[in-house]
Amino acid sequence: MAKSVLLASPHMSDEGYELEYINDAFRKNWIAPLGENVNEFEKAVGSFLGEGYPVALSAGTAALHLAMILAGVKAGDMVFCQDLTFSASCNPIAYQGAEPVFIDSEPDTWNMDPVALEKAFKFYGVPKAVVVVHLYGNPAKMDEIEGLCRQHGTVLIEDAAEALGSSYKGRKCGTFGEYSALSFNGNKIITTSGGGMLICRDEASAKHTLKLATQAREPFPWYQHEEIGYNYRMSNICAGIGRGQMKVLPLRVQQKQAIFERYEKNLAGLPLTMQQENTDGVCNRWLSVCLIDEGCPVTPAVVLDALRAENIEGRPVWKPMHAQPVFAGTKYVTAGEKSVSDDLFERGICLPSDSKMTMEDVDRICEVIRKVF
């Protein structure tokens, strides 16, 4: 059987930084969700971002859920959310009993379309929050989106789960929202096996996040609770992995970008285009994604079947949220008559982007794709 190539999988450091911190936690018996690793991991991420107050959590979804709570999202409220994304971006809206309104993408970066967002404000009024996503690590058009949120006085929540290491106009993704979420799931550019982080703009919000994430216990000698809490804190073991991973984050970004550039070179001349980087930003290329030309008889399914036959993993792009059965009938706003999100789903392919891949692996994948066309 041909060598297996995965879409994206965990990549531990060659130097063993992660084991060093994990073993230290075992020696000190810091196994619970507290300890030096958690504190130092938060400091490392904060130092990398250059601003904000990070709180390490059990998942990126937990970070988005707490962001909803901190933003004051309650049952019956309305939240505008990017349509082309993973369901974790919008599920926390439902957790709070609020109503999502999905906003179409623009064709440049594939992220939330500021024109469609402005239309949503006109159609439905001011929501409690707006959730923007940097799809596959590509920065959204943050000047326009931030400006609209400021103009209407609504909270901007930034889903930067896929975008650690990306930037927009010199500013790191994860620092734009009043609340910003990161993910360290096993397939992300760095991982803690499972985990996430909420980046708050002020220390008071970070302290409130920490309280909510640890069952909202009040400062009494007994267990007293005055608001609903959650068991969302990251463990000291997972944080140890994260501390080690932060040391190789710049290298992982370079490796991902090199994979993308190899695809772009090798697939030139075919009726497809690679996802274009925001001209005002730098994409970490968490996943290398391509779009088959409109009208081409070759479909993503045909390409993915050919890759699968060679033991190579690929995937369609995210299915738009407005098209998901669980959100059937939900409001959806496009800039024009055509749905860009639907079109991207119909023609897009996520190519293998594992940072452990060699350039020979990329060449092999490209050979399979070229044969299909």
Mean pLDDT split into 10-residue runs, the chain, 373 residues:
92 97 94 90 98 98 98 98 98 98 98 98 98 98 98 98 98 98 97 97 98 96 97 97 98 98 98 98 98 97 98 98 97 97 98 98 98 97
Q: Can you give the pLDDT at residue 31? A: 87
Fold of 17-246: Aspartate Aminotransferase; domain 2 (3.40.640)
Fold of 249-372: Aspartate Aminotransferase, domain 1 (3.90.1150)
H-run or E-run covering 69: helix 60-70
- What residues form DSSP beta bridges with 197? 56, 182
Tell me whether domains 17-246 and 249-372 share a fold: no
Q: Can you give the pLDDT at residue 184? A: 98
Q: Can you give the pLDDT at residue 161? A: 98
| Domain locations along the chain | 17-246, 249-372
Q: Can you give the pLDDT at residue 2? A: 83
Q: Is 22 exposed, middle or buried (0-12, 13-18, 19+ CB in 10 A)?
A: buried
| DSSP-H helix ranges across 247-323 | 249-266, 300-309
Contact by Cβ (8 Å): 109, 276: yes
Residue with tokens 């982007």: 353
Question: CA-CA distance, 366 to 373, in Å (whole number)?
Answer: 11
CA 32 centroid distance within chain: 26
